[in-house]
Amino acid sequence: MIGNFALKTFLSCPAEQSTQSNAGGDASQRSRPRRPRRRKRTKDSWDIAQFQVEPAPGKTRFHDLDLPDELMHAIFDLGFQYCSPIQAQSLPYTLDGQDLVGKAQTGTGKTAAFLIGIIEDLLRNPIEQERYVGEARALILAPTRELVLQIADDAENLVKYTDLKVHALVGGMDYQKQQDRLNSNLVDILVATPGRLLDFVGNNDVYLDLVEILVIDEADRMLDMGFIPQVRRIVRATPPKTHRQTLLFSATFTDEVINLTEQWTDDAVTVEIEPESVATDTVTQHVYLVSTEEKFTLLYNLLKTEDVESLIVFANRRDECRDLHHRLLEHDIDAGLLSGEISQNKRVRTLDKFKSGKSKVLVATDVAGRGIHIDGISHVVNFTLPEEPEDYVHRIGRTGRAGRHGTSISFACEDDAMRLEPIQELLGEPIVCEQPPESLLAAVPYVEPRPREMSESNQQRRPRRSSRRPSNR
């Protein structure tokens, strides 16, 4: 951060970080395309007096944080009044320029927690000299495409009364279009998945040596998905940790995550938000003891009940999701599919259809489900219980959002039963197992099997017929 880190002297970097300070070379010597300076935005007619929030015991108002009016206007439009626990505990430190390590589940408001800190700093410390395209001031790394797009969308909502520019870089979408957008605007806040970001850095379309704020979101998921080697390369391309602000968030604090925080942060403050309130206060949990063969019957009959407005069903593996999605389509249930093998454009269309209510059901893996932030989801179904107990909290956190109540239903067969105890230990309370209601065990109508569509990944692997004519020899 420029202003908050003015006291940090730019002396020579430690030996292990010497490659960081000149990762992209001297900006003045680069052959980067320049952009004209942005005209300062004229102050709009909105006044903070229009945003009245009464003080409340034990709650922190956004008014208490001395945020710029442009940012407060956007917060007002979003209907925020009081900070969530992660926001109330982290923002006083991040706004003061300190590094922070946060333990928080999705659905607790952590995205806004780091975005508000980033936007406040960029607004307070504008760059007056000439800038080049592709030079990010703030970098946010997230493990999935859906989560990147969601963070970028949240950022756009918060910067709409400023001149700050937000860019998202994800795989599975047209590289050229993302490149053209980068070349047409300066980049203040860059949100990206690690692999796609490295593509842009390798092609000299993005430069990270002037990054002021680095956010690593869902570090535990980064570890699970094998992204840490890529993230290390990215971190080495940014300024040393003493010359940037680093915020790292994780749902769990494993030994590996703690090791990463020690490497990448400088005297960081630790904030922990426990997940119990996410799991129990706004979500009614049911665990039905069933056989493997009964699971689809329960799901089908559940979808026929009136109280199911929208439903996400989770399974552990891609092939399970494909099979389940196909069976739902066979029974004329309009369902969408989200998994890692689906192209990004199709995933975006599927999510848009679900958000708009045109589709009632979404079948997803945990990887895809981490980036789903949609208010109004009435039910979550665990078709198979997750292998990691933290994923249970993430799954059921898709419902019971924005002050509404939600319902979580888990199907526990013999294979799933062993996964219940670790989940109960994480929640700190027992989960009552029950027999499913008779109404959910009614026979499913028989339908003629439909031919299956080949998955996109298999289509890509299928060899093409050669266009060459056979030799006459």
Whether 39 shows a pLDDT value over 50: the answer reads: no
Task: State pTM to two decimals.
Answer: 0.67
Q: In what order do the strands lie in the sheet with 269-272?
A: 166-169, 189-192, 138-141, 213-216, 245-250, 100-103, 269-272
In a domain, 238, yes or no: yes
Q: Where is the domain boundary, 243, 273, 303?
A: 273
How sure is the predictor about 373, in pLDDT bands with cuts at 50, 70 and 90? low
Q: Are residues 315 and 232 in the same domain?
A: no
Taking alpha carbons only, the member of 215, 207, 25 closest to residue 111 is 215
**CATH number (domain holding residue 126):** 3.40.50.300
Residues 219, 75: one domain?
Answer: yes
User: Cα separation of 8 and 242, whole Å?
Assistant: 7
- Mean pLDDT within 9-32: 40
pLDDT, tens digit, 9 for 90 and up, residues 421-462? 888 888 878 888 999 999 999 999 988 777 766 544 444 444
Q: Tell whether 36 is covered by a domain.
A: no
Residues 165 and 289 in one domain: no
pLDDT of residue 402: 61
| Pair 338, 427 in one domain | yes
Is 58 or 22 the better-scoring residue by pLDDT?
Answer: 58
What range does the domain containing 381 cover? 277-443
In DSSP notation, 73-121 reads: HHHHHHT--B--HHHHHHHHHHTTT--EEEE--TTSSHHHHHHHHHHHH
pLDDT digits (tens, 9 = 90+) for 138-192: 999 999 888 899 999 999 999 999 999 999 999 878 899 999 999 999 999 999 9
The answer on 183 and 90 residing in a single domain is: yes
Based on the domain organization, do 295 and 166 belong to the same domain? no
User: pLDDT per residue over 255-271, tens digit each?
Assistant: 899 999 999 999 999 99
Of 244, 273, 302, at which residue does a domain stop? 273
Whether residues 125 and 212 share a domain: the answer is yes
Assess whether 333 and 211 both reside in one domain: no
Q: Does 27 map to a domain? A: no
Shared domain for 70 and 188, answered yes or no, is yes
Give the number of domains in the chain.
Answer: 2
The reported pLDDT for the residue numbered 6 is 37
Greater model confidence, 338 or 94: 94
Answer with the one of 256, 273, 290 that is the final residue of a domain. 273
Check whether residue 287 and residue 265 sit in a common domain.
Answer: no
Q: Are residues 219 and 356 in the same domain?
A: no
In this prediction, residue 297 has a pLDDT band, given cuts at 50, 70 and 90, of very high
Query: 156 lies in a domain?
Result: yes
Same domain, 134 and 266: yes
Residue 31 pLDDT class (50, 70, 90 cuts)? low
Q: Return the closest-CA partner of residue 106 out of 252, 285, 223, 318.
A: 252
pLDDT of residue 418: 84
Mean pLDDT of 6-15: 34
